[in-house]
Structure formats: structure tokens, C-alpha cells
């Protein structure tokens, strides 16, 4: 029997770290459709489990984003807000921003920040204003 590495159904899990009232999600691998769906479920499960009030999604490693991944990011932010958690997407590369605009993907209500510090301040303000 010939060995085929594609037969292995090993999923790369993206770590989600709880930090105070926030979850920090640092995407350090190329995203593909299945991984994006798994990440969405993972984030929503963690919000529910930890009662997190904010999620920082670091996409600084992503060089490209297709329309599906863009919609998934928007979907994650929308679903998180329904669970009472704000989302800030951090570290978007200029090429990714250009691609999202060229694809016509509008992401109303999704906060973005250049770095983790700025995102953390944004989430703290947003949480404070809700109280």
C-alpha cells in the first residue's frame, strides 16, 4: 500500500489565548477554507466557554486573503458580536486591504488596528462603554 500524506486528516489548530477579558488569536499559518471554518467554530466556542468580551485576531502573517476568507473573518466578527464580544482584526497587510476592497468585501462594524497594543486599547474602551 502506497503512503499518501494527503490521507492524513490532521487539522492545524490555531491557538486561542485567554488574556483578561480578551481572547487573542494569532494566525501563524496560511488560511484555507476548512481551517477558517474550524477557527470560526473554535473562537465562538471559546467566547461562550470563557465569557470573553473581546477577541483580537492577528492576521499580520497573512499575505493574501481570498473572498471566502474575507467573508469568514467578517462572519466571525458578526457572530462574536451576537455573543456580546467585540472583535478587532490586527495587523492587516496593505495587500490584504487592497484585495478586500477590490473584491468589494465591505466589513461594516469590524474594527481594525495596526498592532496588538492599539487593538487592546480599542477593546478596553468598547467594553468600558458597554458597562
CB atoms within 10 A of CB 98: 10
User: Is 4 a domain residue?
Assistant: no
Strands (E), 15-65: 16-19, 22-26, 54-58
User: Is 104 a domain residue?
Assistant: yes
The tally of domains found in the chain comes to 1
Domain membership of residue 45 as a residue range: 16-130
User: Is 5 a domain residue?
Assistant: no
In tens, the pLDDT along 92-123 reads: 999 999 988 998 888 887 899 999 999 999 99
- CATH number of the domain at 85, please: 3.30.750.24
The model's pTM is 0.84
The set of residues, in sequence order, having a beta carbon less than 8 Å from that of 97 and lying 6+ positions away, is none
User: Is 51 a domain residue?
Assistant: yes
User: Is 119 a domain residue?
Assistant: yes
User: Is 1 a domain residue?
Assistant: no
User: Is 10 a domain residue?
Assistant: no
In tens, the pLDDT along 9-44 reads: 444 578 899 999 999 999 988 888 888 899 999 999
User: Is 37 a domain residue?
Assistant: yes
Amino acid at each position: 500500500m502506497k503512503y499518501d500524506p494527503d490521507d492524513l486528516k490532521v487539522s492545524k489548530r490555531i491557538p486561542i489565548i485567554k488574556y483578561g477579558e480578551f481572547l487573542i488569536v494569532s494566525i501563524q499559518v496560511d488560511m484555507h477554507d476548512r481551517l477558517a471554518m474550524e477557527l470560526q467554530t473554535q473562537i465562538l466556542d471559546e467566547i461562550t466557554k470563557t465569557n470573553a468580551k473581546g477577541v483580537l485576531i492577528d492576521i499580520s502573517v497573512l499575505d493574501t486573503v481570498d473572498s471566502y476568507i474575507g467573508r469568514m473573518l467578517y462572519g466571525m466578527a458578526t457572530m462574536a458580536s451576537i455573543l456580546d464580544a467585540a472583535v478587532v482584526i490586527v495587523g492587516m497587510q496593505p495587500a490584504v486591504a487592497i484585495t478586500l476592497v477590490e473584491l468589494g468585501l465591505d466589513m461594516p462594524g469590524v474594527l481594525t488596528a495596526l498592532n496588538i497594543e492599539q487593538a487592546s486599547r480599542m477593546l478596553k474602551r468598547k467594553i468600558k462603554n458597554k458597562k
